[in-house]
Chain A
Amino acid sequence: MTSSTSNSNNNTLGGPSLMETLFQRTVDDLIKGIRLHNPGSAQSSFISKSLDEIRREIKSTDLATKSIAVNKLTYLHSLHNIDISFAAFHAVELTSSPIFNFKKIGYLAASLSFSPSTDVILLLTNQLRKDLTSANVHDVSLALECISAICTVDIARDLTPDVFNLMTSSKNIVKKKAIACLLKVFSQFPDAVRVCFKRLVENLEKNDDQMLAATVGVFCELCSKEPRAYLPLAPELYRILVECRNNWVLIKVLKIFEKLAKLEPRLAKKVVEPICDVMKRSEAKSLVFECVRTIVSSFYEYEFAVKLAVGKIREFLLESDLNLRYLGLQGLLIVGQHHLWAVLENKEIVIKSLSDVDRNIKVEALRLVMSMVSEDNVVEICRVLIGYALKSDPEFCNEILRSMLLTCSSNVYEIVNDFDWYVSLLGEMSRIPHCQNGEEIEYQLIDIGMRVKDVRPELVRVGRDLLIDPALLGNPFIHRILSAAAWVSGEYVRFSRNPSEIMEALLQPRTNLLPPSIRAVYIHSAFKVLSFCLGTFLLPNKDANSSFSNLVDMDPGFTYSESEQEFTETEHGANSSSLHKKDMFTRESIVNLLTLVITSLSPLADSHDVEIQERVRNLLGLALLAQQEISCHHEQKEKRVDWVDLKTYILIRLVNDALSEEFGPISSSAQDRVPVPDGLVLEENLSKLDSICADVQLPISEKFSLVRPTYLPTDGDSLSSRQNEDESETSAAESTSLLAEHRKRHGLFYLPSDNNKNASTSFPPANDPDHIDKDVEDLVKLTEESLVLKRKPNQARPRPVVVKLDEGDRHPTIAVKKIESNDDLISGAVRDVLLGNEPLSQSNQLGKPSGRKKGKAHAKVDQGSELKDNTENSETGNSGKRRSKHRSHGKEKKHSDSGNNVEGREENGKEKSGGRHGRHKAKQSGGGIDVVDQKQVIPDFLL
């Protein structure tokens, strides 16, 4: 309409409509024109010029002109990504032409360019219906193809009957497309399932390959979303598996069985033989591979089948064709999850593939190698991998390093037994020229330092080797690693054989290549090294020890844990070596050290970077003071023993005490657990935000700020610490020996029992069994605060309790359901159709619309009851809240809703005991009888 009026306007204005018709550029002209212009600005200006032309042409009343214009637009849209939404109406107009060619152009434009939000789609419905009922099969297939491309809810709802009729068409071409089209119709309008499903199933029973291909394709897609609903179709599918010889169809059927077999062991038992037969018989690699994949992912319990599949995989691996080798590796990766022997059997091929030309194959091989890693072979495999990393291109080299770092660090370095080895491996990795995993290595160096005490001497050695190499400073990729090395060397300098060497490394001139933030770490580490050196020089050893106890006396909040004491004891070795070090530090060497510090840092005292400036000044302050006093003492030789009077002495003692405090690993949720200090009044400052974040703040204030005094450990901690204190009093020796033994075995530094004083801020370690109690508490909190924002950090922490409460293992599709409730509706409808006619007839009585509503209700009940399961243990009030939410959806549903709720819970109970038949909730329309019905029905269907 609009176009014709605007067009007549054009005509009356003497517009160039006739000229355009005569001299209109054809599609070929347009393409040639585009080819003539170089890509870039010339081409795009040509395109925009053509677009202007087309805009005029498209308004023509002459359909031929219009069709060419639309065709050109389609070309521009699909190959040059030009927005042609302005032409949507004209495309619709063309579809109504009786001339097939124009109709075709219109439909093509519509299917390629319409988006779900194109408003003129509404206008298309009528035309689609007309074409669906056309006598010309080609009109019909155009319409069906268009529906399958751009189907909306409205189109699906309005045209379901027409598509349904076409499913019995005598023309194969139409029938096949009607079937294929259903997938889209179902996804938009789940109630169509009730109408069309039976006819769809009928097609499974016929022997027409064309129909079978289309039908199986639809089922394969449906199945991938909610397989359980299609279990009753097993007999039909089984027949196809045994009888059909069409590879395309067989591949799809295998995919369906892969899903179904996971749900029903009896079915798996039945089909595993035929699948093996297909695998043995078939010549087609695609089909053989599909059999292999099906078996290794769903039938891994059947030893003979797996053996057969692994044999085929081996054949693939030995092929010269790269594609087959790649797929062989992929297959191996899947087998490896349950049958590691298969991977180990093919170890040589896998390792060899690491140096393949193709990166994809290398990556697969790497994944496989990583899957083989265990405590026993980690050292050997890492050695091999480092060798490959050195040979590989930078990208793959980093890929290797990344997976090594990931694998070794997984689950708090579970597979690493020899940390000395691992730390030196990290050092080795850092020196690989292409290494770009600085961030991860940095993290692990520090993390290991904090977690594993025994490795610290080695760590310091590795750090020193990295620091003193001036060449490394030139590689920006490893600056982060150097930062970790500097921190480690500073923090654990007491294990160093030669602290002044570290000092020199930290202050070497080339450090000016480092970014300021890392330089600041260097300088702070230099500070630690210096105070350590001065400390060993000035403080006699026993005094150093007593300073620990002094500290204990000074601060009532601190009571030194046995671990700390033990620490000093175990480090007696180190301390005694530092006795030697004291001998090493002559007055002269200390003076030299001080001079070094002062000369190299003085220029930095005016640095523009505040971090650097501040730290340099700290360090210089100490160094200058020490230099003054020590060299001054130098002159009065007779008083040399009287260090105690010096300011430096007092200062160093205090500083060393401060520095001697241990750092421990920090849990990712540690921030949440920091108690709010007493003096801080959160509510007052943020009172205006109360209405917005009431949910967030209330629990915080309850849990943290008021109940717990600042430095008191949290519940779990205080409990464990109290226990520890008791233990240390009563059976200190025993527990100490136990602990020592335990540590010897694992080499791990368990924070909670060791460090309750250092961790006075109650930061828990990453994997702390003591915190399970806390986790329950957290869970309660979690249900109180339905705020997503708050949830995230909580979930980041490993929380076994949540895993147990989560029903995910029994309901694999929860996530999908929540996103795509339509799938749920589809499967619900499918179940209704497949499992007895009662629900079907009921829904027929109720009529379509109410059926749909019911579907919605199911979904909600489903979600509701699941949520409830999650929270049941912790909060009972919740369900009430939820139920009331349901009620608000409509009066007439209220009754059935609450009924379903109860039933849902009953069923959950059954599921827990009953196992695999459990998941029937979506099909609750008929009430309790159905549940019983179904349990009988499914086994009957199973062959």
Chain B
Amino acid sequence: MGIRFILMVNKQGQTRLAQYYEYLTLEERRALEGEIVRKCLARNEQQCSFVEHRNYKIVYRRYASLFFLVGVDNEENELAILEFIHLLVETMDRHFGNVCELDIMFHLEKAHFMLEEMVMNGCIVETSKTNILAPIQLMDKAS
């Protein structure tokens, strides 16, 4: 199903956002996050952005203190996912203005809202920043 989950994790390994597109129990999530975070955070800048884990492929990218980890199935195009991560960051950047870890922490529901505009059922459905941000801007105006 394309994207299986999206995680944002800081340097200390604390999860800052977790979105799953398939149902996992809390224990499974905890275990999975732990393993993946350990694996990916141990890697350095000179290593490539793809990690195989169980039956997932993890595509990740680091922005400042935050790691964006996307778990995809083996069919997915890794480079496209890297582009997707970058798009996500740019979108958040446009909305929050110089986005940082705290923005995501304190506006978790907004981050989820953006993600919902971009991805449904693990499929990327929207790639235009303007389209993604339109509803959320409308909402901000209303409140």
Contacts and interface: CB of A to CB of B under 8 A. Distances in A.
B47 A360 contact: yes
Contacts of A101: 139, 143
B112 A112 contact: yes
Interface string A436-462: 000000000000000000000000000
A177 B125 contact: yes
A79 B109 CA distance: 12
A218 B124 CA distance: 10
Given A224-B75, A323-B49, A360-B47, A183 B123 contact: yes
B35 interface: no
Contacts of A300: none
A412 B89 CA distance: 53
A346 B46 CA distance: 23
B16 interface: yes
A71 B109 CA distance: 8
A507 interface: no
Interface string B14-25: 111111010101
Given A101-B143, A180-B121, A78 B79 contact: no
Looking at chain A's contact residues, the main secondary structure is helix
B38 interface: no
A221 B18 contact: no
Interface stretch (A209-217, A467-475, A530-538): A209-217
A251 B77 CA distance: 8
Interface string B102-143: 000110110011001000111111111001001100110011
Interface residues of B, number: 52
B71 to A, nearest CB: 15
Contacts, number: 142
Contacts of B64: none
Interface string A896-909: 00000000000000
B78 interface: yes
B67 to A, nearest CB: 14
Interface in A220-248: 220-221, 224, 247-248
Given A31-B105, A221-B2, A286-B77, A213 B48 contact: no
A78 B17 contact: yes
B56 to A, nearest CB: 14
A108 interface: yes
B123 A360 contact: no
A327 interface: yes
A361 B48 contact: yes
B127 A322 contact: no
A176 B79 CA distance: 24
Contacts of A55: none
A217 B125 contact: yes
Contacts of A31: 105-106
Given A78-B18, A115-B23, A138-B135, A108 B109 contact: yes
A100 B46 contact: no
A180 B123 contact: yes
A827 B43 CA distance: 42
A525 to B, nearest CB: 42
Interface string A321-340: 01101110000000000000
Contacts of A79: 14-18, 108
A217 B77 CA distance: 13
A46 interface: no
Interface in A54-111: 71, 74-75, 78-79, 81-83, 100-101, 104-105, 108
Interface string A357-383: 111110000000000000000000000
A105 to B, nearest CB: 7
B106 A28 contact: yes
B29 interface: yes
B120 A177 contact: yes
Nearest to B124: A248
B121 A148 contact: yes
A464 interface: no
A218 B79 CA distance: 20
Nearest to A361: B48
Contact of A360 (B25, B30, B52, B106): B52
A854 interface: no
A255 interface: yes
Contacts of B80: 247-248, 251, 286, 290
Interface string A808-834: 000000000000000000000000000
Contacts of A27: 106, 108
B41 interface: no
Interface string B62-96: 00000000000001011110110000000000000
B1 interface: yes
A173 interface: yes
A117 to B, nearest CB: 9
Contact of A210 (B18, B75, B131): B131
A323 B50 CA distance: 7
Given A81-B30, A218-B123, A104 B113 contact: yes
Contacts of A248: 80, 124, 127
Nearest to A32: B106
6 contacts: A28-B106, A82-B26, A183-B121, A221-B1, A323-B49, A327-B78
Interface of A: 27-28, 31, 39, 71, 74-75, 78-79, 81-83, 100-101, 104-105, 108, 112, 115-116, 138, 141, 144-145, 148-149, 173, 176-177, 180-181, 183-184, 210, 213-214, 217-218, 220-221, 224, 247-248, 251, 255, 285-286, 289-290, 293, 322-323, 325-327, 357-361
Interface of B: 1-2, 14-19, 21, 23, 25-26, 29-30, 43, 46-52, 75, 77-80, 82-83, 105-106, 108-109, 112-113, 116, 120-128, 131, 134-135, 138-139, 142-143
Rank and list the top 5 A-B pairs by shortest CB-CB distance, nearest first. A286-B79, A217-B123, A180-B120, A358-B47, A322-B48
